[in-house]
Amino acid sequence: MSEISGAAGDVVWQSSPPGSIYDYIKVASFSIGPDGLVDQWSERAAELFGVGADKVRGRDPVEVFMPADQRSRGHRKVKEILDGKEWTGLVPFRTDGGTERHGIAEVYVMPSETERGERAALCIVVDVRALRRIETDLASSQAIFGQSPFGFLLFDTHLKVQRANQRFATVFGGQANDHRGRTVHDYLSRPEAERMTAALERVLKTGESVTDLQIVGTRPGDAERRHWSVNLYRVHSGSGRSIGVAGVGTDVTRRHIAAREAASARRNLALLNEASARIGNSLDLETTARELLGVAVPGFCDLASVDLYQSLLTGEEAPPGRWGSSGADSGGGSARLRRVAFASAVSDVPLTGPGGEGDGYVPPEVGAVHRFPFSSLSAGALRTGRVQTIPGETGSLVQSTFAVPMVAHDSVIGLVQFSRTKGSEPFGERDRALAVELAARAAVCIDNARLYRREHERALILQRSLLPPGDPEAAGLDIA
């Protein structure tokens, strides 16, 4: 049937597209005149009952369709209907035209009136078998839709939400019906919403499903980033007409966290293996410090530095890590340290090392002797021998820093700082353990180098002490 154009307000009258609910229910109609006989018989009625209008019109419907043992009751009902009483119920029927058929029809009877004011009736009939199939399908669909542990959305052809299940409403707030008419832009950031919209348009146009589309967003009132895996597929009516796109979303945040932790563990193990191979190949203190940073940057952090006690480097016998004997010696801060190494994986960053110490502290250049402010976290790490986490300052590119004391033979010999800039993954507990392990390995190697340097210097002193003073002279010999 061609489309009938016209408008009444905002309503456009047109023929229903194929696949409407009436194609499934098979609604039929017929009318009963004042005499209790059929006077109109629709084509749908002929299809449902298997009898044409020419064999039914003008006959008693009770006698034609109802089994003999039900006819007396049927006549009573018809009389009540013609007296003006509405009635709805199940009616068994049979036909004897051609192949005999049996069934049960659900009939809704509405009293009507002829042009002469006589009582008549209009009957709407539905095959109960078809109705029960639809009810079963709807109940199954509702059970799956409503009880699903996954978020479910049905988008129409304009990509607006037509239906959402309760699981989705639990995540994004409100009741399921509150989400009708919304778009993905109401739930996701602009970049993610555009990705999702493009996928919906592609599915709607091509009919090709999309599986495991990874979407990142946040739930209302929750700043934590969530990861969802979304599957999209086109939905069709019984006639094959596209009516929209269905989306099923699963929260896979825990899976992402587990995968990230597994990747972090593998990375940390690889870094430890690399540290074993690269750190300690030299008996030079500065070289060993640079070897440590060569392993840590950029594999573990973005910025790193190593500070060693000045007394350690000058060969003084004071135990490494001991504070100055007086306040004047300490200068109100930590004992003197020298920055022996610095490394950065960040280009064009106006930083010479990890900051975050407050009190106007400026990170020193490599080779400079300095002190950490007494109240700083770095000084606290040196005093206690425990790792301190230093948050990045406002306006700084540094996100956070681990200040890790370098401990060898129960003595603190210096401090290594590992920093990550904003945009990098934040440090976790696994990272803290790795930072301690890297610093400990380097500390042992540096202390070994210190001991070697001390013994080497003592050997030289001993060797020189064995030489005679001045240039000895002996007859017949030239002595050098």
Please report, for the chain, the start and end positions of each structural domain, with discontinuous segments joined by +: 7-133, 150-251, 282-464
Name, in order, each residue with C-beta under 8 angstroms of 268's C-beta and a sequence gap of 6 or more: 300, 430, 431, 434
* pLDDT of the residue at 338: 92
Largest CA distance in the chain: 164
Q: Do domains 7-133 and 150-251 have the same CATH topology?
A: yes
CATH superfamily of 150-251: PAS domain (3.30.450.20)
Put residue 478 in one of left, alpha, beta given phi > 0 → left and psi -120 to 50 → alpha. Answer: beta
* pLDDT of the residue at 172: 87
pLDDT in tens, the chain (480 residues): 444 444 445 556 666 666 666 666 778 899 999 998 999 999 888 888 888 888 889 998 888 777 788 888 888 888 888 888 888 888 777 655 544 557 788 888 888 888 888 889 999 988 787 777 777 777 777 777 777 788 888 999 999 998 888 888 888 888 888 899 999 999 999 999 999 999 999 999 999 999 999 999 888 888 888 999 999 999 887 667 788 999 999 888 888 888 888 887 888 788 888 888 888 777 788 888 999 999 999 889 999 999 999 888 877 654 444 434 333 344 556 788 999 999 998 875 544 445 445 545 677 888 899 999 888 899 999 999 999 999 988 777 888 999 999 998 888 999 999 999 988 888 888 899 999 999 999 898 888 877 777 777 788 888 888 877 777 777 888 877
**H or E stretch at 61:** helix 61-65
- β-strand partners of 108: 88, 124
**H or E stretch at 110:** strand 101-113
* pLDDT of the residue at 388: 94
Q: What angle do CA 172, 235, 176 make, to 5 degrees?
A: 25
How far apart are alpha carbons 350 and 423 in whole angstroms? Answer: 17
Q: Hunting for tokens 């809704």 — which residue is that?
A: 108
**H or E stretch at 390:** strand 388-391
Q: How far is CA 369 from the centre of its chain?
A: 48
CATH superfamily of 282-464: GAF domain (3.30.450.40)
Burial (CB count within 10 angstroms: exposed 0-12, middle 13-18, buried 19+), residue 105 = buried
Burial (CB count within 10 angstroms: exposed 0-12, middle 13-18, buried 19+), residue 314 = exposed
Burial (CB count within 10 angstroms: exposed 0-12, middle 13-18, buried 19+), residue 424 = middle
CATH superfamily of 7-133: PAS domain (3.30.450.20)
Nearest to 303 by CA among 420, 178, 414: 420
Q: Is the pTM of this model over 0.85?
A: no
What would the DSSP string read from start to end of 178-239?
A: GGTT--GGGTS-HHHHHHHHHHHHHHHHH---EEEEEEEE--TT--S-EEEEEEEEEEE-TT
* pLDDT of the residue at 10: 54
* pLDDT of the residue at 324: 40
Q: 3-state SS of the chain: helix, strand, coil percent to 5? A: 35, 25, 35
* pLDDT of the residue at 159: 93
* pLDDT of the residue at 100: 54
**H or E stretch at 89:** strand 87-95
Sheet holding 87-95, edge to edge: 38-41, 28-32, 119-127, 101-113, 87-95
